[in-house]
Amino acid sequence: MEGSPNEAVAEAESLVNGCLAQAARLLNEQGGDFHPFSAWLDEAGTPHYTLDAGKHLAAADQRELLDQGLRDLAAQGALRAGAVCLIATMTQGDSETGEEGDPIDAVFIQSEHRDGEAWIATVPFERGWGLRRRWKFGEPLLLPGWSFIFGKPEAAS
């Protein structure tokens, strides 16, 4: 029996928060960059992370490798929720003037729960000031996502 919608939202939120914590750690350890990684909750709800898959590959190929790994776990029935986390460069525009702003770096997280919840989270970040110079994260933007793990193939027309 599948969980409640509230349970799916809570699990997806915990996965996104776990990805942000891993991203912050990796940014600090690796000087402001990290390779894409995946995260997932197993059947017991325990979080797992794949932090170094395909480092030798191009970013798009790394992403596909991570997506396929999550799909394989889902096909085995071993996955409650999954996510992929990477760094993206975004531009914030002015909605009144239509002018584009300066590019900013953001942590981009795409997540999906087997009960149908799918989200995209973006969190801008910048280098902090002071002796410790930790990374500072801005306000997260959470948007509805789409299926990339549990989705059913499109029907042939």
State the 10-residue block means of pLDDT for the chain, 157 residues long: 71 90 89 90 93 81 93 95 93 74 90 91 81 78 92 49
For residue 45, which phi and psi values (nearest 5 degrees)? 85, 10
DSSP H or E segment with residue 143: strand 141-144
pLDDT tens column, 37-83: 999 999 999 999 998 777 788 888 999 999 999 999 999 999 999 99
145 DSSP β-pair partners: none
Per-domain boundaries in the chain: 5-144
Q: DSSP strand E in 33-117: where?
A: 37-41, 47-50, 81-93, 100-113
Radius of gyration of the chain (CA): 17
- Mean pLDDT in the chain? 85
